């Protein structure tokens, strides 16, 4: 599909990944409609030429207006930040995705790209995970909501004939990444960062620009239709990944807790959360952090020719430069 000349809607355009997708499309001369709950946060995209529209995943009328006239919808909006209940994840991530799909079905949308997550596989602790591996519930609210959203996409699109592709990134780091860049750096600087079992577990990562490459690729390539793709640059250990931020901050010596201690702490936390009617976190989440699962992007490499352009060393170098530009780290002395 030729994207030039087509209007492309990006949901979650003020978020980390949605914003990166919108900026890339604009830089390549595409016509972008940026959907945001708070349009005032999208002034930078408007300055780059995006049409900014206000909409909410729970408002069907606003979604229909946002989708109207768009040939491609790239659905990046989701609840990612920790919230107290499963409903707070399921509402935006499952029901919200269903609402976007319904809006697409009422318009002349020719392609729907859904940003999922490797979490949809249920947080496996070991083995090589491919796009053909079983998916399922993990007992963890965010992961289960991404699985539910994927199910909604498969069901709706196959029933209604809406061309679609699902993208499943691993842990996305780089400039503007809160969970895998900014927050870890701040925790390390405050000496609050902990790793489990020495940080020897396998960490699956993808640099933001590499992920955007994949998203734009599947939006344009007809071979991607009706398929799902893990996007994962590679693996390292949790200790090695976070040690890169330690080096940037001029610190060393990440603290570690044993697997038994981590599980005991989570068990206590879950007991307190249940008392407060909050959603617990499945113990398998710790097994995922301390385990050896490797998520393979061989499928997207073979079928579409996608390969990571930016390796981990370069990605961390670019991330450090952004930290210094934004004042999260001091500028280097000349």
* Predicted pLDDT of residue 285: 80
From 5, 270, 230, 199, select the one nearest 121 (Cα to Cα). Answer: 230
Residue 62, number of CB atoms within 10 A of its CB: 18
Task: Give the count of alpha carbons within 13 A of 174, CB side only.
Answer: 22
* Predicted pLDDT of residue 187: 94
Q: Are 76 and 12 in contact (CB under 8 A)?
A: yes
Helices (H) and strands (E) in the chain, counts: 13, 14
* Predicted pLDDT of residue 322: 98
Complete edge-to-edge strand list for the sheet that includes strand 234-237: 171-173, 202-207, 234-237
* pLDDT tens-place values along the chain, 334 residues long: 999 999 999 999 999 999 999 999 999 999 999 999 999 999 999 999 999 999 999 999 999 999 999 999 999 999 887 666 778 888 999 999 999 999 999 998 999 999 999 999 999 999 999 999 999 988 888 899 999 999 999 999 999 999 999 999 999 999 999 999 999 999 999 999 999 999 999 999 999 999 999 999 999 999 999 999 999 999 999 999 999 999 999 998 899 999 899 889 888 877 887 777 676 776 778 888 899 999 999 999 999 999 999 999 999 999 999 999 999 998 775 5
Strands 7-11, 72-75: pairing kind: parallel
pTM: 0.95
From 214, 142, 209, select the one nearest 176 (Cα to Cα). Answer: 209
Contacts of 116 (CB under 8 A, 6+ apart): 146, 149, 150, 153, 166, 167, 168, 228
Q: Are 294 and 202 in contact (CB under 8 A)?
A: yes
Query: What does the radius of gyration of the chain's CA atoms come to, in whole angstroms?
Result: 20
Strands 51-54, 31-36: pairing kind: parallel
Taking the C-alpha atoms of residue 245 and residue 247, their distance in angstroms, rounded to an integer, is 5
Domains and CATH numbers, the chain: 7-177+205-233+294-310 (3.40.50.720)
Contacts of 244 (CB under 8 A, 6+ apart): 312, 316
* Predicted pLDDT of residue 118: 97
* Predicted pLDDT of residue 140: 85
Biggest CA pair distance of the chain: 61
Contacts of 229 (CB under 8 A, 6+ apart): 131, 165, 166, 167, 168, 214, 218, 297, 299, 300, 303, 304, 306
């Amino acid at each position: 599909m030729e994207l030039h000349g087509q209007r492309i809607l990006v949901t979650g355009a003020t978020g980390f990944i949605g914003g990166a997708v919108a900026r890339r499309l604009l830089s390549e001369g595409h016509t972008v409609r940026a959907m945001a709950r708070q349009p005032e946060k999208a002034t930078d995209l408007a300055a780059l030429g995006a049409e900014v529209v206000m909409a909410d995943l729970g408002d069907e009328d606003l979604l229909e207006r946002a989708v109207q006239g768009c040939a491609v919808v790239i659905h990046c909006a989701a609840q990612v930040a920790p919230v107290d209940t499963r409903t707070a994840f399921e509402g935006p991530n499952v029901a919200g995705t269903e609402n976007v799909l319904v809006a697409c079905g009422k318009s002349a949308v020719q392609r729907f790209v859904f940003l999922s997550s490797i979490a949809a596989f249920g947080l496996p602790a070991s083995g090589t995970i491919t796009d053909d591996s079983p998916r399922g519930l993990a007992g963890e609210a965010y992961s289960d909501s991404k699985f539910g959203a994927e199910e909604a996409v498969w069901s709706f699109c196959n029933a209604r004939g809406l061309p679609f592709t699902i993208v499943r990134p691993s842990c996305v780091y780089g400039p503007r990444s809160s969970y895998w860049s900014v927050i870890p750096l701040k925790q390390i600087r405050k000496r609050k960062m902990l790793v489990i079992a020495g940080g020897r577990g396998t960490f699956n990562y993808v640099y933001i620009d590499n992920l955007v490459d994949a998203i734009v690729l599947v939006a344009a390539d007809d071979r991607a239709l009706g398929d799902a793709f893990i996007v994962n640059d590679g693996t390292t250990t949790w200790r090695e990944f976070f040690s890169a931020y330690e080096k940037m901050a001029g610190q060393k010596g990440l603290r570690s807790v044993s697997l038994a201690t981590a599980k005991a702490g989570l068990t206590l936390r879950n007991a307190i959360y249940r008392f407060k009617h909050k959603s617990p976190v499945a113990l398998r989440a710790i097994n995922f952090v301390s385990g050896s699962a490797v998520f393979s992007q061989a499928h997207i490499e073979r079928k579409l020719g996608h390969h990571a352009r930016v390796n981990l060393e370069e990605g961390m170098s670019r991330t450090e430069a952004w930290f210094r530009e934004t004042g999260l780290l001091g500028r280097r002395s000349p």
